[in-house]
Each structure stands twice: as C-alpha cells, then as structure tokens.
Amino acid sequence: MKVTFPHMGQVYLAIKGLLDDLGIEVVVPPPITEKTLEIGTKLSPEMACLPLKINIGNYVESIQKGADTIIIAGSCGPCRFGYYGVVQKEILKDLGYDVNMIIFDPPNSDYGVFIDKIKKLAGKNSWISVAQAFKRASAIVKEADEMLDIALKKRAREINKGDVDSRLNCFEQEVLSRHGNDEILETIRKYKEILSQVEEKSDVLPLKIGLVGEIYTLIEPYVNLNVEKKLGYLGVEVYRSITLYEWVKLHLSLDVKYRMRHKRILRKAAPYLSLCVGGHAWQTIANTIYYSECGVDGVIQIMPFGCMPEIVAESILPRVYQDYGTPVMTLVVDEMTGEAGYFTRLEAFVDLLEQKRRGRVDGYKEGLFGN
C-alpha cells in the first residue's frame, strides 16, 4: 500500500511522520504548482470549488508517483466538502485510476467508524503503536503551528526582508529527507530556534490583521496566494483564526477545556448567526467579533469562489463592522484570480488601516493638547 493525501499547508509533516512510524509507504504529493492547478481544473466539474480541483491535481501527480491509496478528511453539514471524497473517487474512476480512498469523517459521537478506518490503515500495527504514533503526530501539528506563529511575528519586524522565508525554505527542503515523527519533530524544533534568532527592528509597531474564512484557503499558501507572506512584507502581523492544530484539538482530542473555549467564542456570533451553516461560516463571524474585541486593526475573510457557507458569512460581516467598527475585507479566490490585482487590494486595505490608526493617534493628540 502506497498512501497519499491532499496538500494543505504543513499537514504533510504530521501525516508523513504518522505513516512512517506505522511502516506504511507514503507518497508526499509534490508542492502545488500551476501544473497541479491545470490538471485539477481540466479534470474537475467547472463549478466545483477551487480546493476540490487542486485535490484532484494532487492525486493525479501522486498516482503518477506510485500511490494507490488516498486518505482524506471528511466533513458534515451543508458544505460540499462533505462529499469531496465520494465525488473525487468517481472522477478518478472515470479517468481510469483504480485507487482506494479512505475518508476520515470527524468522529464527533461515532468513534466506532473512525476507529475501524484507522484499523484499515494501520494493518498489523498494535493499538499501542497506533496511539503512540498519533500522539507524536499531534505534537508535530502543534509545534509546526508554533513555528509558523514565530514566522508571522518575525516577518513583520525582520531587519532584512526575506530572512524568515529563506529559513522556512531551508526547513522545507531539509524536513522532506527526515523519516518518522521523531526526526520531523526534531527538525521543527531546530527551525523554531533558528527563526527565533531572526533580527528584528526595534522601533516598529506592526498593524495587526486577523484572517478568517474557509479552512483550506486559510491554511494552504498556494491557494490564498501567500497572503501571510504578502501582509508580512507590508509590515503586518497576521493572526490565523483557524489552524491545523485547532482542527485536531476540536475533532480528534478530548480536551474539554479547549472545546469550551471554542464554544465561548462561537457564542459571540449569536446575534448574527447561531448555528452551523456548513464549512466555517459560524467561526468566521465569531472570530471576526473576537478579533475586534482583541483590538486588531482589521480582518480579512478569504474564501473559494462559490463557497456557500462563506457567502452567508460575507453577507453578515457588514453588520458586524457597523457594530464593532473593525474594517473587514473579503477576498475570493479561484483558478482565475490574478496575483497583481490581489496584491493591490491588500496594499489598499493596509493603507486604509494605517490611515485609520494615524487618525486615532492624531485625534488623541488633539484631545491631549487642545489643538
């Protein structure tokens, strides 16, 4: 069995570590490129959302490298992601690719089905070995997200533009040669230390922007056109509302304290949206309010074209802005999105936030000195 999976940010680190530890041969999908997008766009239904098209491109590239089994996370509720696995399997079958697809729906209350699928994947490994491998893979998810958080803070303050990204590029090249959870974790820790040593400017006060929206477009840099990097180069400190570690904590762990905190944030959306309408629309509203209360300068919603849940959220966000006053911008991405226009919108939004901040400072000085 040669297993592959869709590319989504740094999820490949944990899956590779987990499968290595279980003795399962893994085919890490090649990084997403224009070729990946071209394959997916050509083979997928025209109105399918961007993540599905890119997934198909990932699968075809991995199958060409020998993969015969695909694992993918599932979902529930009124979002097309819930039937991605079934649709993608049919598309691949029509193309003549005979692959096995294992769909891991969030267990929620039905842990039996989830465990059966793990058993199918784990083969002859003992449950103790599986549990230990999962625990170490969870540590990778946690520490990889911490490493990215360090990069987000440093990028907005680095003295030499590009220092953070040159180190992240070295990390990505080095980590692919590592085998198993322990070696991958060791490499992550090494680069957390290296990133922490990037020299910072001492006299900067970066703007703060929170990112909300659909999980795949938030986590996968190719899909969101490297929004975190672009904002960082504009001197903005970025906060991510949805991370891979959060998904793991909510769906795969029994951390009651974390789940209660998540529910407290979701309750903030109650005056506007008080139930799940699919995807992460509920979280988009709740996190926009949460960020506003935390005092960020602005919020950016990112979603794939045609994403129903995020369209619902987009229609509500103007009311949230009226009530809380934190500027919100929505960016929609698909295979036709032009990078130049996208970057221009980011620049204009950051300029607006900077002017707003200067206005607040000037207003404060006027009040203080009576000018």
Closest to 192 measured CA to CA, from 213, 215, 164: 164
Q: Please check the confidence at residue 173 and state whether its pLDDT lies above 90.
A: yes
pLDDT score of 368: 47
Predicted local distance difference test score (pLDDT) of residue 79: 67
> How confident is the model at residue 363, as a pLDDT?
61
What's the pLDDT tens digit per position in 204-261? Answer: 899 999 999 999 999 999 999 999 999 999 999 999 998 988 888 887 777 888 889 9
The confidence score (pLDDT) of residue 191 equals: 97
Ordered DSSP codes for 219-279: H-TTTTTSHHHHHHHTTEEEEES--HHHHHHHHT---HHHHHHHHHHHHTTTTT--S--ST
**Model confidence at 286: pLDDT above 60:** yes
Residues 6+ away with beta carbon under 8 Å from 166 = none
The helix-helix angle for 11-21 and 127-155 (nearest 10°) equals: 160
Is the pLDDT confidence value at 76 over 90? Answer: no
Average pLDDT in the 118-136 region? 87
User: What is the rounded average pLDDT for all residues in the chain?
Assistant: 89
Rounded Cα–Cα distance for residues 87 and 80 (Å): 10
82-105 residue pLDDT tens: 777 788 888 999 989 989 988 887
- For residues 261-272, average pLDDT: 94
Determine the residue type at 243: T
Whole-number pLDDT of residue 103: 83
pLDDT at 110 over 90: no
With 70 as the cut, is the pLDDT of residue 364 above it?
Answer: no
Interacting residues of 162 by C-beta distance below 8 A, sequence separation 6+: none
The structure tokens listed for 243 are 């991370």
Highest average pLDDT, of 70-84, 93-107, 283-297, 355-369, comes from 283-297
As a three-state string, the secondary structure of 43-69 is HCCCCCCHHHHHHHHHHHHHHCCCCCE
Q: Which residue's entry shows tokens 């009576």?
A: 370
Give dist(CA 112, CA 90) in Å, integer.
26
Contact 43, 74 (CB under 8 A): no
First to last CA, the chain: 75
